[in-house]
Amino acid sequence: MKTRTENFLQRTVQIILFGLVSAVSTSSCAFATQQNYAQREDVKVFINEMVEQHGFDRVYLEKKFASAKRLDNVLESIAKPAEKELNWGQYRPIFVTEKRTNKGKKFIEQHKVTLQRAEKEYGVPVEIIAAIIGVESYYGKHTGRYTVFDSLTTLGFDYPKRSKFFKSELKQFLLLSKEENIDIETMTGSYAGAMGMPQFISSSYRRYAVDFDGDGKRDLWNSIDDVIGSVANYFSEHGWVKGGEVASQVTVTDTSIVKPGNPQKPYTTLAQLRAQGVKMKQGLDGKEEATLLKLETSRGDEYWVGLKNFYVITRYNHSELYAMAVFHLSEKL
């Protein structure tokens, strides 16, 4: 699954930037370096491919790449190692706040009809859909101010470490703009190319976005209906179990059974964990597949079982802390 491969640290930094210092929004242009991408050999190869394999107009692409800006701040952001990895005790309070909870309740109230329609159609609870939008963009408020064409061009051609991935996303991005007939100058997002209220990268947008308001377009920047439907469809396509639980806190007597690295994918069953002395709430089906997680906080370690739906949330963002934060926020909504 390569639909959302921005790694955990980048995503965390990005989300923290959105969440904590959103007031300091940077304009893409402020950190741009002049350079003509259209004249570069590697870009010419890329343009050729887009013309020959995907039917793009050469003159159009040459013109666009000639005016593409190299964004130095994008390169700085992506290369910057996070100061330190956050543990659960530090991560949770960033996302599960009273403010985000209250705004989430209002969001649900305001978009109840659409959220309920999405739940009915895709089997994904209203609260989970709302929590994702709440964590990703503060319910649509912070969707990123980078011109995604510039950031993907910069990363695709000037960040060798991940150029394959970003060139592929750039290709997906151009195809998306063509299919949806959107001017690439208006397609904004995070420095790593996550777009709109649900922060879909281009390949996810093409694959999972749906037109949920029926106007014939999939618009994740402006149509809240499309956003809601698309998030629900994403989860449904990744195997969301209708009516299933996400995670449950447990007590572990023998901590040596905890696998290091917090595997996100279920690798055992609840019955097996019970047999290993894990105490959990009643009513959980023993046959259900699960993973056992250890989450560190300043008040000591917490142990959780993550079920299939927990794993599905990590398909949106490959971090167990992210999935747990979404789950906790959804529980408060």
Residues involved in catalysis: 136
Instruction: Report the nearest approach of Ca ion to the CB of residue 222 (Å).
Output: 9
CA–CA gap between residue 250 and residue 256 (Å, rounded): 15
Q: Which residues bind Ca ion (CB under 5 A)?
A: 211, 213, 215, 217, 223, 226
In the chain, what is the straight-line distance between the N-terminal and C-terminal CA atoms, in Å?
A: 29
Residue 127 or 226 with smaller CB distance to Ca ion:
226
Instruction: Report the nearest approach of Ca ion to the CB of residue 212 (Å).
Output: 6
Residue 217 or 318 with smaller CB distance to Ca ion:
217
Q: Position of tokens 């167990």?
A: 320
Residue 179 or 215 with smaller CB distance to Ca ion:
215
- For residue 231, give every residue at least 6 positions away whose Cβ sits within 8 Å of its Cβ, in sequence order, or none: 118, 124, 129, 132, 133, 198
Q: DSSP secondary-structure letter at 69? A: P
Which residue minimizes CB distance to Ca ion?
Answer: 211
Q: DSSP secondary-structure letter at 76? A: H
- For residue 23, give every residue at least 6 positions away whose Cβ sits within 8 Å of its Cβ, in sequence order, or none: none
Q: Where do the DSSP E strands lie in 104-233?
A: 146-147, 188-189
315 and 238 Cβ atoms separated by less than 8 Å? yes
Residue 62 or 121 with smaller CB distance to Ca ion:
121
The first and second tokens of residue 329, run together, are 């926020």
Residue 190 or 223 with smaller CB distance to Ca ion:
223
Instruction: Report the nearest approach of Ca ion to the CB of residue 140 (Å).
Output: 15
CA–CA gap between residue 329 and residue 9 (Å, rounded): 20
The values of phi and psi at residue 107, to 5°, are -60, -45
CA–CA gap between residue 302 and residue 297 (Å, rounded): 7
